[in-house]
């Protein structure tokens, strides 16, 4: 069964780029990697999803190396409003094509002025 | 479209009582997921439905837990004989399998359960 590991916390300053890495063992070739942002008392909010190499959208980039044993969420020029908990989610598709969904424990990002 | 909604937002109950939560997904989404989240932890997968079929259940979902999605629209999660260890945030999410696969799930605000 796939397991994910993330740093518990990170600090940054406004305007800096932040990179958060998630390690995931035994990920199958057909697994998605997805990242979510969560504010207190709210449900997680989708940020970005990828399969391999690099994916970029209007808010973030996701880097996945060839061995797929990790993924890195990159947030360019963070602001105070990016202070939140960030989770990686691995979707493990078993032989029956049903899904086993595993979240990391989350990385609390604190952005300072 | 108002997103995923969950009711109630908060529930306080006494140990041994039964509770039921409701989730209304985004209307065109055919997949619906239930998670449990305790303080300082990531969401833990409980179960998911594709239309009305329950396709996967976590081992976390003991015999006291049951989920239904009778018409492939809203879903209910019932916990029987609640225990203090059931205190958590219960999150619901939905996704459109054909458009986005498993990954792009849209979460509701959650139901916070407190068992006294």
CB atoms near residue B104 (< 10 Å):
17
Residues B21-46 have a mean pLDDT of: 93
Is residue A46 within 8 Å of A34, Cβ to Cβ?
A: yes
Q: Which two tokens stand for residue B11?
A: 């529930």
Question: Which chain A residues are within 8 Å of B109, Cβ to Cβ?
Answer: 41-43
Mean per-residue pLDDT for A14-29? 87
Q: Measure the CA–CA gap between B33 and A99, rounded to whole angstroms.
A: 11
CB-CB neighbours of A11 under 10 Å = 12
Quote the CA–CA distance of B95 and B103 in Å, as a whole number: 8
pLDDT category, A51, cuts 50, 70, 90? confident
Q: How far apart are the first and last CA of chain B?
A: 36
Range with top average pLDDT, A21-35, A55-69, A94-108, B97-111: A55-69
The contact set of B with A (CB < 8 A) is 4, 33, 35, 40-45, 48, 55-56, 91, 93, 100-110
What confidence tens digit (pLDDT) does each residue in B74-83 have?
999 999 999 9
pLDDT at A3: 77
Mean pLDDT on B11-31: 95
How confident is residue A91, by pLDDT bands cut at 50, 70 and 90?
Answer: confident
Six-digit token string for B66? 């049951």
pLDDT at B103 over 70: no
The alpha-helical segments, DSSP class H, found in B69-112 are 97-100
* pLDDT for the residue numbered B104: 82
A2 has pLDDT over 90: no
Given a cut of 70, is residue B100 above it in pLDDT?
Answer: no
| Nearest by CB: A98 against B44, B55, B103 | B55
Question: Can you point out the beta strands (E) in chain A?
Answer: 3-5, 9-13, 18-25, 32-38, 45-50, 53-56, 61-64, 70-75, 84-93, 99-103, 107-112
Interface size between A and B, measured as CB pairs under 8 A: 62
């Amino acid at each position: 069964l796939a397991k994910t590991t993330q740093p518990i916390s990170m600090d940054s300053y406004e305007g800096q780029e932040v990179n958060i890495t998630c390690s995931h063992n035994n990920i199958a070739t057909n697994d998605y990697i997805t990242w979510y942002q969560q504010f207190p008392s709210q449900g997680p909010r989708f940020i970005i999803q990828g399969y391999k190499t690099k994916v970029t959208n209007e808010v973030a980039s996701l880097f996945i190396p060839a061995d797929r044993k990790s993924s890195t969420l990159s947030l360019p020029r963070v602001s105070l409003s990016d202070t939140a908990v960030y989770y990686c989610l691995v979707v493990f598709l078993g032989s029956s094509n049903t899904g086993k969904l595993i979240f990391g424990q989350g990385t609390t990002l604190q952005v300072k002025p | 479209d108002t997103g995923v909604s969950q009711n109630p937002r908060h529930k306080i109950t006494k140990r041994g009582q039964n509770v039921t939560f409701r989730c209304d997904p985004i209307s065109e989404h055919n997949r619906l997921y239930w998670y449990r989240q305790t303080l300082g932890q990531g969401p833990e997968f409980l179960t998911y439905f594709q239309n009305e079929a329950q396709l996967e259940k976590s081992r976390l979902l003991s015999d006291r837990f049951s989920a239904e999605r009778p018409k492939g629209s809203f879903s209910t999660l019932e916990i029987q004989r609640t225990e203090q260890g059931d205190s958590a945030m219960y999150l619901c999410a939905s996704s459109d399998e054909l458009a986005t696969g498993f990954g792009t799930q849209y979460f509701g605000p959650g139901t916070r359960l407190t068992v006294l």
